[in-house]
Amino acid sequence: MTPAFSLARTVFGRLTLTLEDGTVHEGVTPVRAFPLSAPDDYIALVSFAGRELVAIEQLSELPSAMRMLIIEELAPREFMPRIASIDKVSTFATPSIWQVSTDRGPCELVLKAEEDIRRLDRTRLLISDSHGLHFLIEDYTALDQRSKRVLERFL
Amino acid sequence: MIDKLHAAPMNLLPPAWRPQVSALLRAGETLRACLETDLTADLRYARGVLLLTTDRILHLTAEAPVREWPLGPTLTLRQTDHAGVGLIELLHAETRKGLVRFTLAHALTATHWVAEFARLRADCDSVAETPETCPECHSPFDPTTGSCVACARDLASPPSTRTLFRLWRFARPYRLQLLLGFFLTLSATFATLIPPYLTMPLMDKVLIPFQNGTPIDRSAVILYLGGLFCAALVGWALGWGRTYVLALVSERIGADLRTTAFNHLLGLSLEYFGGKRTGDLVSRLGSESDRICVFLSLHALDFVTDVLVITMTAVILFTINPWLALATLLPLPFIGWMIHLVRDRLRTGFDRLMRVWSEITNVLADTIPGIRVVKAFAQEERESKRFLAANQYNLALNDRLNRLWGVFSPTVTLLTEVGLLVVWAFGIHLIAKREITVGVLTAFLAYIGRFYARLDTMSRIVAHTQKAAAATKRIFDVLDHVSSVPEPRHPVTLASVSGRIALREVGFRYGSRHVLRNINLDIAPGEMIGLVGQSGSGKSTLVNLLCRFYDVAEGEILLEGVDIRNLGLTAFRKHIGLVLQEPFLFFGTVADNIAYGKPGATRAEIIAAARAAHAHDFILRLPLGYDSLVGERGQGLSGGERQRISIARALLINPPILILDEATSSVDTETEKEIQRALENLVRGRTTIAVAHRLSTLRKADRLVVLDRGQIAEIGTHDSLLAANGLYARLYAAQTRQHAEDGSTGAEHA
């Protein structure tokens, strides 16, 4: 399927969108409407002013070149480290400083309150730290014993 | 038919009046309607009855002579009420011939009575349907509410322990497990009673002979000690099983109770929630249901065990030695008497205690959601004082109860100690007379230790039972409350709803205050009606009636020609989209909140609704888009954003009828424009009823209905109403003037 718009990257590294009617928008950003529940469905291309210009129902519908452009552009906006293990927590009361190993390397996060651990579904957990950064635990039942025991104190 | 004509109104008459009335009626004269009155013209209480016959109106009272007015062609009636007192005036050519007063307890019959008069005037032969009467107190009650005001439950009566038996309804599904639990209890108790019995031969056949010079029989010792150990082991295993099974069952009963109560609560009308405080309901469903649960799993179980132990011990004691047994059981009647004495005081005490506990929760439930107001007005200290006061009241009540309780427990202990003394004395006496052995006395003392310990805990259970009974009563108060917006017995289902609404003679009152009366309005499908009026004119009440949050007191509301009271509640409300002044967002994601009215909605539907509500763009700006969490009160979103989410919510269910209750009054003009655009999408093709304080927002309405003190003052378009120069024109002029002033001061500031 060929979409009714085209997408290119300018020399300044910004995305340019050309709509069917010939209007050109520079500096568009792709935004996922459901980043957690359905990341590849409903991606919007949003203008610099924050208006939705194009809605893509499914990423797989796009030609691969455009898809790559969008994925490239999305990547830095979606920094969401996946926690592999919880190595140390400062205290079991909140706020608590956690030392965790993630797929992006070891780091430290501050858990402000227990509510910041959000259950996405039966196994996935989303943890927001004090700076609003999101950490994902893909399957908390698959964590090692120690991490699981620590986590259960907060759930 | 004729028979019914005579009989039906006679049945309406209170029996006390029947002989007098039948003596008064002339030949050929029949009774058409009857109204019990309870006030005299100068407002003193006096029983009376106002009769409508085919020829005249009669007023019989206990004191004054019978008054009568012939039904002349010029006789008219006027029914009014004020502050709980109703009045029927009999007018004859502009002069008042008589007046009858009554309290509003009889308001409904009065309306029927007046209606019957009108029917008689219209020469209509058939007797109107007689109002239904309450089966308990025979006072007429509104068949639509299904509850009788006159014999509403007396909520202040102390809870009886018998209410605990009502829990059986919830225990029934678990009766097999309960039976197993009981069986386990029985055997476990029996097992614990074996050891003292074994001490008897151990003493008499081993220890005493040894003292007298016989060597110890090793095999007998091993046998007895082994028996003791086995009994302990069996008792442990059975006790474990019993506790586990019964705790399991009681948790489930508690959970069922909570769920049932919550589901019932959800079905109750707004009227109930209006009269109840959040904290009170939270504590009823939360901590008190838990208290019942604990009672069932721990205390009721203990109680049964206690009774079993006591009866079994008593039986064993009597088989060993009846005289000694009699001495042992001596303090029992005293304890029973004391329990009876204390119980009554405890139970009213515990009921009050729980109400105080609700008061404490109420302070929390008030303060936490209103924390911004509290802080803004710097009233932390006042709230703290309020909490302290509730707490201190709680303490004071507790202290009083504990004083009573404090005397009670040690007294029981004292009595048991005395009992032990009696057994010792009597036992030594019997041994001296060589009637029993030392072993028997030891066994007795061992049994008695258990016996009295059980008696002690059993007396303690009184408090727990009373607590649980009070909690049960309070939960059943909720469960017994019949919704004043009842589900019809045979709901009518509408095939398709185009949105045609008709209001016929609609009236409503809060308590004795008339809020709406004689509202007649036909709304065509797809029409937009703007409701206008000063605050207190009844706009919101009308909206509440249309949503069936309350039921009309008089008249009817028809949807597609069917009285909405005959439609299933959920089915009816599915046809209505409601956007409120204060949008409420539930804890969950933005997507969940938009799909609240239609949980199975696809993502495409959600996005489409959000787009139409002009919410899509700002949702995309949220860090997690539609997956972002919004809090209890939608923290982190502005008022306009929340409002647009709630508009998307209403759009998603695609209702044929839309109700906007001050949807834009809590936001600024700029946001209002944005919301207005969103609303235009929403309004298109639907029957819309919009309430707005700002008249400018209703300019698009097909018709404006101007309400004044509960009645329709004017109906028309914006232009025609302005031309008519009536109430609307005045309201509009006042607002535009104010706008102009605001505008000019705004310009100065800028």
pLDDT in tens, B589-625: 889 889 888 888 899 899 988 988 888 888 888 888 8
- Residue type present at position B125: D
What is the reported pLDDT for B237? 92
Per the structure block, which two tokens stand in for B233? Answer: 């082991």
Buried b (16+ CB within 10 A) or exposed e, A94-114: eebebebbbeeeeeebebeee
In degrees rounded to 5, what are phi and psi of residue A104? Answer: -105, 15
Whether residues B233 and B288 share a domain: the answer is: yes
Tens of pLDDT, residue by residue over B382-433, are 888 888 888 888 888 888 888 877 887 787 778 778 878 888 888 899 889 8
Q: Two tokens at A17?
A: 């969108």
Average pLDDT over residues B466-487: 80
Q: Within an 8 Å CB–CB cutoff, is residue B552 touching chain A?
A: no
For residue B565, tell me if it sits in a domain: no
Residue A64 in this model has a pLDDT that exceeds 80 = yes
Strands in A96-102's sheet, in edge-to-edge order, are A83-89, A96-102, A105-111
Domain match, B105 and B194 both: no
Nearest to B603 among A34, A35, A132 (CB): A34
Output the pLDDT for position B635: 58
Number of residues in chain B: 750
Which residues of chain B are within 8 Å of residue A37 when distances are taken between CB atoms?
589, 591, 626-627
Q: Which residue type does A84 have?
A: A
Spatial distance between the Cα atoms of B39 and B678, rounded to a whole number of angstroms: 56
Question: In the beta sheet, which residues pair with residue B712?
Answer: B707
Residues on chain A touching B626 (C-beta within 8 angstroms): 33-34, 37
Copy the structure tokens of residue B509. Answer: 């009152």
**Lookup: tokens for B231:** 């009994």
Cβ contact B194:B227 at 8 Å: yes
Integer CA distances (angstroms), B597 to A70, B549, B651, in order:
34, 17, 10
CATH number of the domain that residue B378 is part of = 1.20.1560.10
Q: What is the pLDDT of residues B20-41, one digit of tens each?
A: 888 888 877 888 888 888 888 7
- pLDDT computed for residue B744 by the predictor: 53
> b/e for B324-345, b at 16 or more Cβ within 10 A?
bbebbbebbeebeebbeebeee
CA distance B274 to B296: 33
Q: What is the rounded CA–CA span in Å between residue B524 and residue B687?
A: 7
Is B516 domain-assigned?
no
Of the candidates B623, B626, B629, the beta carbon closest to that of A118 is on B629
Residue A113, chain B, CB below 8 Å: the answer is no
Distance of alpha carbon B301 from alpha carbon B287, whole angstroms: 20
3-state helix, strand, coil in chain B (%, to 5): 60, 15, 25
Residues whose CB is less than 8 angstroms from the CB of residue B212 and which lie 6 or more positions away in sequence, other chains included: none
What pLDDT shows up at residue B632? 55
The answer to whether position B304 is within a domain reads yes
Assess whether A111 and A140 both reside in one domain. yes
Q: How far is CA B443 from CA B10, B27, B192, B424, B425, in A?
A: 77, 91, 13, 12, 15
Q: Are residues B350 and B407 in the same domain?
A: yes
H/E run at residue B8: helix B2-12
Average pLDDT over residues B432-439: 85
Res. B520: pLDDT tops 60: yes
Is B644 within 8 Å of B675 (Cβ atoms)?
yes
Whether residue B231 sits in one domain with residue B100: no
Test B625 with A55 for CB contact under 8 angstroms.
no
Asked if ipTM goes beyond 0.90, one says: no
- State whether B33 and B178 are in the same domain: no
Q: What is the pLDDT of residue B359?
A: 79
If one counts the domains in chain A, the total is 2
Judge whether B141 lies within some domain: no
pLDDT greater than 60 at residue B272: yes
Question: Does the pLDDT value for residue B748 go beyond 50?
Answer: no
Q: Same domain, yes or no, for B186 and B109?
A: no
Read off the pLDDT of residues B54-75 as tens digits, 9 standing for 90 and up: 888 888 887 778 888 888 777 8
The maximal CA–CA distance of chain B, rounded, in angstroms, is: 126
Q: Are the beta carbons of B99 and B41 closer than 8 angstroms?
A: yes
The answer to whether B145 and B272 are in contact (CB under 8 A) is no
Domain contains B288: yes
**Owning domain of residue B589:** 576-654
End of a domain among B634, B654, B674? B654
- Please check whether residues B7 and B78 belong to one and the same domain: yes
| Domain match, A69 and A97 both | no
Which chain A residues touch B629 with a CB distance below 8 Å?
118
A64 shares its domain with A89: no
DSSP-derived 3-state class of residue B559: strand
- Flag whether residue A53 sits within 8 Å of chain B, measured between CB atoms: no
Q: How many angstroms separate the CA atoms of B573 and B547, rounded?
A: 7
Give CA–CA dist B339/B335, Å, rounded. 6
- Interchain CB contact of A74 with B (< 8 Å): no
Contacting residues of B for A42, CB less than 8 Å apart: 603-604, 607
CA B127 to chain centre: 37
Burial class (CB in 10 A: 0-12, 13-18, 19+), B376: exposed
Of the three residues B92, B121, B150, the one that is the final residue of a domain is B121
Q: Are residues B200 and B117 in the same domain?
A: no
Strands of B208-251 (E only): list them.
Answer: none
* SS3 label, residue B353: helix
On the question of pLDDT at B671 being above 60, the answer is yes
Inter-chain CB proximity A31 and B625 less than 8 Å: yes
Helix (H) or strand (E) holding B231: helix B218-267
* Chain A residue at shortest CA distance from B590: A34
B81-131: pLDDT as tens digits: 776 778 888 888 777 888 888 877 777 788 888 888 888 877 655 544 444
Mean pLDDT of chain B: 79
Chain B contact set for A44 (CB, 8 A): 616, 620
Burial (Cβ within 10 Å: 0-12, 13-18, ≥19) of residue B34: buried
Residue B614 lies in a domain: yes
pLDDT 10s digits, B138-184 = 444 444 444 444 444 333 455 566 777 788 888 888 889 888 988 88
Instruction: Using CA atoms of A60, A64, A69, A72 in order, give the dihedral in degrees to the nearest 10.
Output: 70
Q: Is the pLDDT of residue B476 over 80?
A: yes
Same domain membership, residue A46 and residue A90: no
Helix (H, G, I), strand (E, B) or coil at A21: coil
Sheet with strand B95-103: strands edge to edge: B75-82, B85-92, B95-103
Query: How far is the first Cα of chain B from the last one, in angstroms, to the nearest whole number?
Result: 80
Examine the domain organization and report whether B172 and B109 are in the same domain: no
Q: Which amino acid is at A9?
A: R
The answer to whether residues B224 and B475 touch, using CB atoms and an 8 Å cutoff, is no
The share of chain B scoring above pLDDT 90, in percent, equals: 1
Predicted pLDDT at B6: 47
Check residue B134 and give its pLDDT: 46
Mean of the pLDDT values across residues A124-149? 86
- Distance, in Å, from the CA atom of B472 to the CA atom of B453, rounded to the nearest integer, reads 28
Q: Which of A38, A46, A132 lies closest to B620 in CB terms?
A: A46
Give yes or no: residues B282 and B425 share one domain.
yes
| Alpha-helical runs (H) found in B433-506 | 438-480
Decide: residue B58, CB within 10 A, 0-12 exposed, 13-18 middle, 19+ buried.
Answer: buried
DSSP β-ladder status, B528-532 and B687-691: parallel
Same domain for A32 and A65, yes or no, is: yes
Report pLDDT digits (tens) over B649-670. 888 888 888 888 877 766 667 7
A42·B607 Cβ contact <8 A: yes
Q: Any chain A CB within 8 A of the CB of B616?
A: yes
Regarding whether B166 and B116 lie in a shared domain, the answer is: no
Chain B interface test: which of A28, A29, A42, A47 (most B C-beta within 10 Å): A42
State mean pLDDT over A77-97. 84
Which residue in B454, B404, B405, B464 sits closest to B161, CA to CA?
A: B464
Question: Cβ atoms within 10 A of the Cβ of B321, count?
Answer: 20
Chain B interface disruption, residue of A36, A45, A74, A128, most B CBs within 10 A: A36
Q: What is the pLDDT of residue B606?
A: 92
Q: In what helix (H) or strand (E) does residue A103 lie, and over which residues does it extend?
A: none
Position A22 pLDDT exceeds 70: yes
Same domain for A64 and A33: yes
Determine whether the interchain pair B620/A52 forms a contact, defined as Cβ–Cβ distance below 8 Å: yes
> C-alpha angle B377/B382/B386, rounded to 5°?
140
Contacts of B318 (CB under 8 A, 6+ apart): B325
CA quadruple B448, B453, B456, B457: dihedral positive or negative? Answer: negative
Q: Which residue in the block uniquely carries the two structure tokens 């909605």?
A: B601
Contacts of B666 by beta carbon, 8 Å cutoff, 6+ apart:
B581, B582, B639, B643
Structural domain total, chain B: 3
Judge: B603–A46 Cβ closer than 8 Å, yes or no: no
User: Same domain, yes or no, for A102 and A137?
Assistant: yes
Q: What is the structure's pLDDT at B731?
A: 85
pLDDT at res. B9? 59
Q: Decide if B496 is inside a domain.
A: no
Return the ∠ at Cα B75 (arms to B73 and B81), rounded to 5°.
150
Residues from chain B contacting residue A125 (CB–CB below 8 Å): none
Domain with residue B41: its CATH number is 2.30.29.30
Distance CA B88, CA A10 (A): 86
Contacts of B623 in chain A (CB under 8 A): 132, 134
Q: Do A34 and B623 make contact, defined as CB atoms within 8 angstroms? A: no
Task: Give the Cα separation of A29 and A7 in Å (integer).
Answer: 11
Confirm whether B510 is domain-assigned. no
Question: Contact, A42 vs B610, CB < 8 A?
Answer: no
Q: What is the mean pLDDT of residues A64-84?
A: 84
Taking the C-alpha atoms of residue B441 and residue B427, their distance in angstroms, rounded to an integer, is: 6
- Rounded CA-CA distance B606/B492 in Å is 31
Contact B463, B161 (CB under 8 A): no
Same domain, B214 and B95: no
- Of B234, B136, B124, the C-alpha closest to B189 is B234
Residues spanned by the domain of A88: 83-152
Contacts of A115 in chain B (CB under 8 A): none
**CA separation, residue B5 to residues B79, B302, B420, B680 (Å):** 25, 64, 79, 56
Final residue before a domain boundary, out of A46, A77, A108: A77
* Domain CATH code at residue B646: 3.40.50.300
Separation of alpha carbons B31 and B22, rounded Å:
9
**Nearest chain B CA: its distance from A31 CA (Å):** 7
Q: What is the per-residue pLDDT for B464?
A: 78
- Which of A36, A44, A55 lies at the smallest CB-CB distance from B624? A36
B405-414, pLDDT tens digit by residue?
788 778 777 8
B415 Cβ contact list (under 8 Å, min separation 6): B331, B334, B335
